[in-house]
């Protein structure tokens, strides 16, 4: 078979070319065996290669979330993670990884922030470019996403984002630009949202003018899953591949009609098909066709990398009287209380980043591995943290008398006879993801339930479409309309109201759930027409248990208290933005920290979230460790920091405001709805993150961008800068470890005008370097800086510019701690080449 791409392309009929422009199924492309074109397989996602099953699929390595790896400020780690992700992708039979995610942390409530790196486009770009290089070196395609401006989850399929060209260029497109130029990703995924009124998938400005035009990039553009919104427009704008398949917009009839009507040219179809074939070629599939079965391979080198990256990403934010580290000799024979989420490994957020990890080390396991029998550990949960009541699975019998539920699907509204019946169905929830045979069907679940105890039980129910729950044929729940948030439904954050129902011990109850496909909803992308529901269930005693009192008792009894707080994947997930700035649920975690810290002066908080949250108890606690979502080695990595085996060197890649009201996008997130159209104005312009906090009172920031403590201390001195060419500089600075143990820090180099201007940020990150220094060691470091990395986009001339004048090169340990400043005259004012 000829494997010359142009020969193959030339042999394809128009219909065959069209068939290549959308997926075959959820993850694969369409093969044309007669012409020697194989299918290739894609896989989610950013912190591991999950494979084709959303939940409970083939096990995979879970890497730290991007926000955690960004906190290492170590691009070499990003490169190594890229290598490892490629190897993982290959174990899943895939050759295209849908990663990295690189949108901006515009607002602390952004549901998907954890999946991407930072509020700073330069840091994001440098980390992402290294991930991409690492992935593609191994012959696997990276897919940078989501282009562009996918900064919120609320109504993500429909929201219109109004952004100035300057902010778009300097903040939102810049990480993509850096990555395109430094790593040439083989694929780009478009965003779901509209940018200035035009869907990202058919956005000529984004795809044609900038990506393929100005940046000269020549890879494959695919849509986000269900994010294609047109036939001719998306083809003309440059969207090569509609995902997933089977196609909704690119049926042969629709495309060929568009060609006949002159809406799209055959040349354009050929060009789109060429990009698909080129991707197949780049991943080596013409030479090695066939998609191997998924495998689960635990690779010790990957486990070690995950622990190392997590160890450098976990960020120490407070450490009063050096309570940390709890060195083994210091705590021998002591009693340590573990509270909150100590028995849960919060290793990833929810949505496409979630996966069935090879294993998950909980903090309790990690600490026990570290301290062995030298320390006595005691546990109290202290707070309810679940988002939804767990589904009903136990003590249920299906119609055959075996464990579980009977699940029936009905077609065309005919409930007299089931189209399909499954007995032994696991639990009271039906998740429609990937189950295409359920499209348009009604679902009924039936079981005979025998409660273990008498008394009231809490129920919480919801459906994507109209849903009814009956107990012994009496209606206990009825939802007449569609879910107000179908996307949230899919990912575990359904809006549900709890209510109670009395049960008698030992008696049996017939429980039946009946749900219809959604009414309308054809615009819901991958959820269109799919039925779904869940019912949660909990005994009243368990539900109303006074966990806090137990925790208070334990807090009094122990020498040291470690409270684990954070967001489980249901609380921080793709598909939904966070509902509040406070930790869930209903203030229970804040109350727990407050209560424990009031009773025990040695309270350490370890917080696993991908975003900033409120910390009303910060003054009361002795230490705070921000653990992010550190991957499958979570507990070990946290224990490494707590016992001092690893000296913390994580630095915040996002600012933590004190109050949500002080966040720059506050008031413009998640936008305003008028005539059924949600619109969000990026009113803050380029003043995102520290670019905003730098110009307001320091009081507003709890922890500034770039901040992080160590078990030693550092100082920078003698910063200097020289211009080495028209657009390059060489900065030098002396860094000293001023403490008694070895450690690493990040030299952060910010550049800004000496003469402040309200039009421009005070300073922007233009270079950084992570450096390791032994105790007392002092060393001079050289840091190259490019003019372009602190240039601004001038809308009037549509070009990048640096104005003539004096500039300060500030060497900082965070945006708020600048140790040394060098000033230089720049003879700017020129237009830079794009």
Torsion angles phi and psi, residue 643, rounded to 5 = -90, -10
Q: Judged by CB under 6 A, how many residues of this single chain contact ligand NAG?
A: 23
Burial 702-719 (b: 16+ CB within 10 A, else e): bbbbbbbbbbbebebeeb
Selected from 229, 231, 362, 483, the binder of ligand NAG by CB under 6 A is 229
Q: How far is the CB of 706 from ligand NAG (least distance, A)?
A: 14
Q: Is 164 in the site for ligand NAG (CB under 6 A)?
A: yes
Q: Cβ atoms within 10 A of the Cβ of 729, count? A: 25
Contact 342, 605 (CB under 8 A): no
Q: Which of positions 466-505 make contact with ligand NAG (CB under 6 A)?
A: none
Selected from 605, 686, 735, 766, the binder of ligand NAG by CB under 6 A is 605
Nearer to ligand NAG, 477 or 707 (CB): 707
Choose one: 162-170, 237-245, 277-285, 637-645; the region binding ligand NAG (CB under 6 A).
162-170
Nearer to ligand NAG, 266 or 523 (CB): 523
Q: How far is the CB of 229 from ligand NAG (least distance, A)?
A: 4
Q: How far is the CB of 315 from ligand NAG (least distance, A)?
A: 9
Q: Which of positions 506-525 make contact with ligand NAG (CB under 6 A)?
A: 523
Q: Is 562 in the site for ligand NAG (CB under 6 A)?
A: no
Selected from 8, 235, 615, 665, the binder of ligand NAG by CB under 6 A is 615
Selected from 162, 422, 832, 834, the binder of ligand NAG by CB under 6 A is 162
Q: Is 199 in the site for ligand NAG (CB under 6 A)?
A: yes
**Alpha-carbon gap, residue 465 to 479, rounded angstroms:** 8
Choose one: 79-87, 163-171, 385-393, 465-473; the region binding ligand NAG (CB under 6 A).
163-171
Q: How far is the CB of 340 from ligand NAG (least distance, A)?
A: 9
**Alpha-carbon gap, residue 266 to 272, rounded angstroms:** 10
> Helix (H, G, I), strand (E, B), or coil: what is residue 144?
strand
Choose one: 160-168, 256-264, 658-666, 748-756; the region binding ligand NAG (CB under 6 A).
160-168
Q: Which of positions 275-314 make contact with ligand NAG (CB under 6 A)?
A: none
Nearer to ligand NAG, 336 or 613 (CB): 613
**Alpha-carbon gap, residue 244 to 341, rounded angstroms:** 36
Q: How far is the CB of 464 from ligand NAG (least distance, A)?
A: 17
**Alpha-carbon gap, residue 170 to 168, rounded angstroms:** 6
Nearer to ligand NAG, 84 or 168 (CB): 168
Closest CA to 627 of 67, 62, 63, 60: 67
CA–CA distance from 92 to each of 38, 53, 57, 74, 370 (Å)? Answer: 17, 11, 11, 27, 33
Q: Is 560 in the site for ligand NAG (CB under 6 A)?
A: no
Cis omega before residue 325 (within 30°)?
yes
Nearer to ligand NAG, 84 or 167 (CB): 167
Q: How far is the CB of 230 from ligand NAG (least distance, A)?
A: 7
**Alpha-carbon gap, residue 273 to 288, rounded angstroms:** 20
Q: How far does CA 256 lie from the centroid of its chain?
A: 38
Nearer to ligand NAG, 163 or 785 (CB): 163
Nearer to ligand NAG, 793 or 811 (CB): 793
Torsion angles phi and psi, residue 541, rounded to 5 = -60, -40
Helix locations, 539-678, DSSP H: 540-543, 547-557, 588-599, 634-643
Nearer to ligand NAG, 229 or 573 (CB): 229
Q: How far is the CB of 121 from ligand NAG (least distance, A)?
A: 16
Choose one: 161-169, 331-339, 417-425, 663-671; the region binding ligand NAG (CB under 6 A).
161-169
What does the per-residue mask of binding to ligand NAG show for 569-588, with x meaning CB under 6 A? --------------x-----
The structure tokens listed for 144 are 């940078």
Axis-axis angle for helices 75-91, 121-136 (nearest 10): 40
224 as an active site residue: the answer is yes
The structure tokens listed for 120 are 């700073």
**Alpha-carbon gap, residue 143 to 40, rounded angstroms:** 14
Selected from 190, 312, 609, 655, the binder of ligand NAG by CB under 6 A is 609
Nearer to ligand NAG, 224 or 408 (CB): 224
- Tokens 């003539």 correspond to 804
Axis-axis angle for helices 363-371, 634-643 (nearest 10): 50
CA–CA distance from 38 to each of 8, 31, 248 (Å)? Answer: 12, 5, 22
Contact 745, 649 (CB under 8 A): yes
Q: How far is the CB of 573 from ligand NAG (least distance, A)?
A: 15
Nearer to ligand NAG, 157 or 744 (CB): 157
**Alpha-carbon gap, residue 613 to 611, rounded angstroms:** 6
Q: Is 565 in the site for ligand NAG (CB under 6 A)?
A: yes
Which H or E run contains 96?
A: strand 96-97
- Please name the residues in contact with 412: beta carbons below 8 A apart, sequence gap of 6 or more: none
Q: Which of positions 621-650 make contact with ligand NAG (CB under 6 A)?
A: 624, 626
Contact 150, 223 (CB under 8 A): no
Instruction: Please report the DSSP string for 153-200 in residue order.
Output: -TTTTT-EEE--HHHIIIIISHHHHHHHHHH--SEEEE-SSEETTEEG
Q: Is 362 in the site for ligand NAG (CB under 6 A)?
A: no
Q: How far is the CB of 231 from ligand NAG (least distance, A)?
A: 11
Choose one: 56-64, 173-181, 443-451, 604-612; the region binding ligand NAG (CB under 6 A).
604-612
Q: Cβ atoms within 10 A of the Cβ of 559, count? A: 15
Q: Which of positions 118-157 make contact with ligand NAG (CB under 6 A)?
A: 157
Q: How far is the CB of 364 from ligand NAG (least distance, A)?
A: 18
**Alpha-carbon gap, residue 9 to 274, rounded angstroms:** 7
Catalytic residue among 44, 224, 694, 819: 224
Choose one: 294-302, 603-611, 755-763, 807-815; the region binding ligand NAG (CB under 6 A).
603-611
Q: How far is the CB of 628 from ligand NAG (least distance, A)?
A: 6
Nearer to ligand NAG, 155 or 364 (CB): 155
Choose one: 471-479, 504-512, 612-620, 629-637; the region binding ligand NAG (CB under 6 A).
612-620
Q: Is 611 in the site for ligand NAG (CB under 6 A)?
A: yes
Selected from 467, 607, 655, 712, the binder of ligand NAG by CB under 6 A is 607
Closest CA to 491 of 594, 571, 410, 389: 571
Question: Which residues are paired to 391 by β-bridges?
Answer: 536
Contact 25, 245 (CB under 8 A): yes
Selected from 86, 148, 613, 665, the binder of ligand NAG by CB under 6 A is 613
> Helix (H, G, I), strand (E, B), or coil: what is residue 621?
coil
How many residues belong to the chain?
Answer: 834
Q: Cβ atoms within 10 A of the Cβ of 818, count? A: 17
Q: How far is the CB of 750 from ligand NAG (least distance, A)?
A: 22
Selected from 656, 682, 768, 790, the binder of ligand NAG by CB under 6 A is 656
Q: How far is the CB of 321 from ligand NAG (least distance, A)?
A: 19
Nearer to ligand NAG, 612 or 634 (CB): 612
**Alpha-carbon gap, residue 433 to 103, rounded angstroms:** 25
Closest CA to 757 of 808, 797, 706: 808
DSSP 302: H
Nearer to ligand NAG, 168 or 367 (CB): 168
> Helix (H, G, I), strand (E, B), or coil: what is residue 520?
coil
- Tokens 């969000």 correspond to 680
Q: Which residues bind ligand NAG (CB under 6 A)?
A: 157, 162-165, 168, 196, 199, 229, 523, 565, 583, 605, 607, 609-613, 615, 624, 626, 656
Q: Which residues are catalytic?
A: 224
């Amino acid at each position: 078979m000829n494997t010359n791409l142009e020969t193959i392309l030339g042999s394809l009929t128009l219909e065959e070319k069209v068939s290549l422009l959308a997926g075959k199924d959820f993850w694969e492309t369409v093969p044309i065996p007669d012409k020697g074109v194989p299918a290739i397989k894609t896989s989610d996602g950013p912190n591991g290669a999950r494979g084709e099953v959303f939940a409970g699929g083939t096990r995979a390595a879970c890497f730290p979330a991007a926000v955690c790896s960004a906190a290492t400020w170590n691009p070499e780690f990003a490169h190594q993670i890229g290598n490892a992700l490629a190897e993982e992708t290959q174990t899943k039979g895939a050759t295209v990884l849908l990663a990295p995610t690189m949108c901006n942390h515009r607002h602390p409530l952004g549901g998907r922030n954890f999946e991407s790196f930072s509020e700073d486009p330069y840091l994001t770009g440098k980390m992402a470019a290294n991930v991409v290089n690492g992935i593609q070196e191994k012959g696997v395609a990276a897919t940078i996403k989501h282009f562009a401006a996918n900064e919120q989850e609320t109504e993500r399929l429909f929201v219109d984002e109004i952004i100035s060209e300057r902010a778009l260029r300097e903040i939102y497109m810049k990480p993509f630009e850096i990555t395109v130029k430094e790593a040439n990703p083989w694929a780009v995924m478009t965003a779901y949202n509209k940018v200035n009124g035009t869907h990202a998938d058919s956005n000529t400005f984004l795809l044609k003018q900038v990506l393929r035009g100005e940046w000269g990039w020549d890879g494959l553009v695919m849509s986000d899953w269900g994010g294609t919104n047109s036939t001719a427009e998306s083809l003309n704008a440059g969207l090569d591949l509609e995902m997933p398949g089977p196609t909704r917009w690119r049926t042969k009839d629709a495309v060929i009609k568009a060609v006949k009507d002159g809406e799209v040219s055959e040349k354009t179809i050929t060009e789109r098909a060429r990009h698909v074939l080129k991707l197949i070629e780049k991943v080596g599939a013409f030479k090695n066709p066939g998609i191997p079965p998924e495998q689960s391979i635990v690779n010790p080198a990957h486990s070690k990398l995950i622990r190392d990256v997590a160890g450098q990403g976990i960020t120490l934010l407070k450490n009063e009287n050096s309570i940390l580290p709890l060195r083994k000799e210091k705590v021998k024979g002591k009693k340590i209380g573990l509270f909150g989420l100590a028995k849960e490994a919060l290793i990833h957020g929810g949505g496409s980043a979630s996966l069935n990890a090879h294993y998950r080390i909980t903090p309790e396991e990690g600490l026990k591995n570290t301290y062995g029998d030298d320390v006595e550990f005691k546990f109290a949960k202290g707070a309810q943290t679940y988002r939804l009541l767990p589904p009903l699975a136990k003590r249920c019998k299906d119609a055959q008398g075996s464990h579980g539920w009977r699940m029936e699907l009905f077609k065309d509204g005919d409930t007299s006879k089931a189209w399909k019946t499954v007995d032994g169905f696991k639990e009271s929830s039906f998740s429609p993801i990937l189950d295409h045979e359920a499209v348009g069907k009604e679902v009924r679940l039936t079981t005979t339930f025998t409660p273990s105890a008498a008394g009231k039980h809490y129920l919480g129910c919801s459906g994507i479409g109209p849903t009814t729950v009956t107990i012994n044929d009496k209606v206990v729940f009825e939802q007449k309309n569609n879910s107000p948030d179908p996307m949230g439904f899919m990912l575990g954050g359904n809006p549900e109201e709890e209510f109670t129902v009395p049960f008698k011990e030992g008696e049996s109850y017939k429980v039946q759930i009946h749900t219809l496909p959604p009414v309308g909803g054809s615009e819901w992308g991958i959820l269109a027409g799919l039925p779904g529901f869940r019912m949660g269930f909990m005994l009243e005693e368990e539900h109303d248990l006074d966990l806090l009192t137990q925790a208070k008792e334990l807090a009094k009894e122990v020498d040291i208290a470690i409270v684990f707080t954070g967001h489980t994947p249901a609380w921080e997930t793709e598909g939904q933005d966070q509902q509040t700035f406070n930790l869930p649920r209903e203030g229970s975690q804040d109350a727990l920290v407050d209560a424990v810290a009031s009773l025990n002066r040695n309270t350490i908080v370890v917080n696993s979230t991908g975003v900033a949250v409120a910390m009303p108890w910060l003054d009361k606690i002795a230490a705070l460790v921000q653990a992010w979502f550190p991957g499958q080695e979570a507990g070990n990595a946290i224990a490494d920091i707590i016992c001092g085996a690893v000296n913390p060197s994580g630095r915040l890649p996002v600012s933590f405001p004190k109050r949500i009201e002080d966040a720059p996008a506050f008031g413009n997130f998640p936008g305003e709805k008028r005539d059924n159209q949600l619109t969000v104005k990026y009113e803050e312009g380029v003043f995102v993150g520290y670019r905003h906090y730098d110009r307001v009172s320091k009081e507003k920031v709890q922890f500034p961008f770039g901040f992080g403590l160590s078990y030693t201390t550092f100082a920078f001195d003698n910063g200097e800068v020289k211009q080495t060419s028209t657009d390059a500089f060489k900065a030098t600075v002396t860094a000293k470890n001023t403490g008694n143990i070895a450690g690493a820090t990040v030299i952060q180099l910010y550049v800004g005008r000496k003469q402040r201007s309200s039009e421009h940020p005070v300073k922007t990150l233009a270079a950084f370097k992570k450096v390791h220094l032994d105790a007392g060691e002092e060393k001079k470091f050289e840091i190259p800086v490019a003019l372009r990395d602190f240039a601004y986009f001038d809308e009037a001339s549509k070009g990048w510019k640096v104005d003539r004048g004096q500039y300060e090169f500030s060497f900082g340990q965070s945006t708020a701690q600048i140790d040394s400043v060098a000033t230089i005259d720049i003879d700017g004012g020129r237009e830079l080449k794009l």
